[in-house]
Homo-oligomer: A and B are copies of this chain.
Amino acid sequence: MTSTTEQPPKRRRDRAAREREILEAAERIFGERGYQGTSMDDVAAQVGVSKPLIYQYYGSKDGLFLACLARLRGQLLDTVADAVMAAPNAEDALYAGFLAWFRFLDEHPQAWSVLVDEGMLSAGPAAEATDEVRAAFIELIATMVRMNLPAGRPVDDDEVQIVAQSISGATERLAIWRTRAAAPPSPEKVARTLQDLLWQGLHTLKTT
């Protein structure tokens, strides 16, 4: 009976426990209804607590949303980074990274909803955090790209940036598309196709 709905005899808890409880509820509700569609009153009611308490702990709606973001982002980033690092060479790393990305999103659909809504916050203070996440990813990609270049060659940083941004954008859009598509191709198929599309071009970079 200890399901998601909380039982009445809920008393005071220490701050850390409450914060966790609030965060979990927020993650769930943001995931279901999006940022706009979620009101602080909703979250408060779900936790069985009053609104000002949430404000005391998280400062603002953005603050709460950011906290959700940070957690999910960390998980996703770690997953992908691990897959990339575990690969024996650049070619495999590329595929492994894509695969890890699409698989994670398949396995954590509600996490992804939050992260997508993240993109929605072009305005607001959440935008900065959003950019940080993406910057981390792009840094990872850029590192991979550079790994793939012969050591002696001069590196055109603009080109590396362009490539990294492109890959980041492509994977994001593909992820969104897959959640919406009626019968999306498997993570393996998408990762493979992407890999095929990009691999040759990455070599071109190196010989330019």
Contacts and interface: CB of A to CB of B under 8 A. Distances in A.
Contacts of A202: 197
A123 B37 contact: yes
Contacts of A197: 162-163, 166, 198, 201-202, 204-205
Interface residues of A, number: 47
A135 to B, nearest CB: 10
Contacts of A172: 169, 173
A139 to B, nearest CB: 13
Interface string A171-200: 111100100100001000110011011111
A56 to B, nearest CB: 24
B174 A169 contact: yes
Interface stretch (A21-29, A80-88, A112-120, A146-154): A112-120
B117 A119 contact: no
Contacts of A193: 158-159, 162-163, 205
Contacts of A199: 201, 204
A177 B201 contact: no
Given A34-B122, A166-B173, A197-B204, 19 more contacts: A33-B123, A35-B123, A117-B122, A119-B119, A119-B122, A120-B120, A158-B185, A158-B189, A159-B193, A162-B174, A162-B190, A163-B197, A165-B170, A165-B174, A166-B170, A169-B173, A172-B173, A196-B201, A199-B201
9 contacts: A34-B122, A120-B122, A158-B193, A161-B177, A170-B173, A172-B173, A196-B208, A197-B198, A197-B205
